Structure 1
Amino acid sequence: MPRRSASQKRAAKQARKRNSDPSVVVDIKSRNSFIETQTITARAAPPLQAKTLSQGQYITAIKSHKLTFGTGPAGTGKSYVAGAIAAEELEARRIEKIIITRPAVEAGENMGFLPGDLQEKFDPYFDAFRDCLIERLGKGAVECGLKNDRIVVAPMAYLRGKTFNDAFVVLDEAQNCTRAQLKLFLTRIGENCRVVVNGDIRQSDIGNQSGLQDAINRLGHLNSVYVHAFEHEDIVRSGLVKDIIECYEK
């Protein structure tokens, strides 16, 4: 039997390792194109489970309506539920991309100039969804999705002229959108598109210029639109957060 060179032995060893390693993450590409894989730890997320009756109603509303408004105090799971359902839709290839946006309004503190390109500047606003998507899809899949535009994170100002086709779109912190911004955003909705708009009207950083309540008043009667209002008893973040919010709003 001929002896193999050192390079041939290393190649054979790596091939055996790849074939025996079940930890594979899929780069979730278009359902019409090939699938790339890379070796990292696989993540099997459990099915999304509602923590409260109100969350269950919200999940059902998102899955059965083209446009869902979620309002209510912090800690009720509005952002997490939207992100988790978006991940499920992308993983099942019922949509081509996830689009996440929010107004670039700072919460009472000016951070000044942020270095980097557009993606890096807007990255701090994506943190609320990053952990959720990583939990549901795995870190490698999220990184690949961001790289090949299957997961798009963009500020409101960059949505003008775009159409949301074959997408799951989440607008977070919508209480900081003006009426004009919300009109611009909502008129982007195209075919096979599901949209979730989240916000707490009582926590607006732009005062009475907020367009969230205006949009709900105008659109709430439409058959394809659902408005879900969370209450203080629906807070699941912690009992302390619930007490803090009640104290501030008394």
Structure 2
Amino acid sequence: MVRLLEKRQRTGSVLTIFAIASFSLHVLVLLLFIFQGLNIRQLSLRKPPNFVQLIDGKPVGNIDDLAREPEAIRRFISKTMISMFTWSGTLPPQNIEEVANPKSDLGILIRTSQGSSQKISTSTWIASFALSEDFRKGFLSTVAEMTPPEVFSENPNQVMTSQLIIKRVYPPKQIAPGKWRVGMVADLIQKNRVGGEKLVTPFNKDFLVRAVDYFGNPQADNGTDLQKAIYSVRTDKLEIYEIRNLCLLDGYNNLNEDNLKQCGARQTSDSFIK
């Protein structure tokens, strides 16, 4: 009887130790899961690393989230404005077949300040996502008013095209942390595709640009070509939040603070101002 009691006590002690060890192990695993969950949450809330383009086009990490390379800013302005004001009546080719036989651009209807609806090119609409949201709507309304309806004409004898020829983009001048002013001298050339008649309009503008965050397309693999194009516009982590007429008092070579102050009185009502 005594031996039987001792055996039961030993068995109970082993079970108790096993239960305590198992409970401790479960608590430890739970703590590890909590710690790992907190780390994952911190990673999900962390901003994506900021990249800027160098002159050779290679992205490098930058410690300052608001810093951008001057050449990257100038390329951003040039690329955006060329896409904004190049109207060919056709869509950008997506494959080799469309290079030879491009699809017609049906345009996108935009309501103008007069209350009517006019078309802008699809490339203009996509490029407009490089503008700040509060400035974009009014700017598109202005572009719609200056876009000839003949751009979308089905009659080949009436089709007009437009191209922005950039002569110079001035070095960006920082006006605040993460904000720059960039002057551009260009000509907007509208041409009749058949007759070859040209209309050249000076397009000299002063751009106010700022650094912004960028979040990638969460459905990059399943997105349409249009969605991918829109997201690609924001990859430069820059946006234009104001456009003014650029006053050139001394040719194309003198863009200083004194001249810009004198130009302030010459701004007209047709300026692209927010």
TM more than 0.5: no
TM-score, L = length of structure 1: 0.28
Using CA pairs below 8 Å that are at least 6 residues apart, which structure has the higher relative contact order? Answer: 1
TM-score, L = length of structure 2: 0.26
Q: If you compute each CA radius of gyration, which structure gives the higher value, 1 or 2?
A: 2
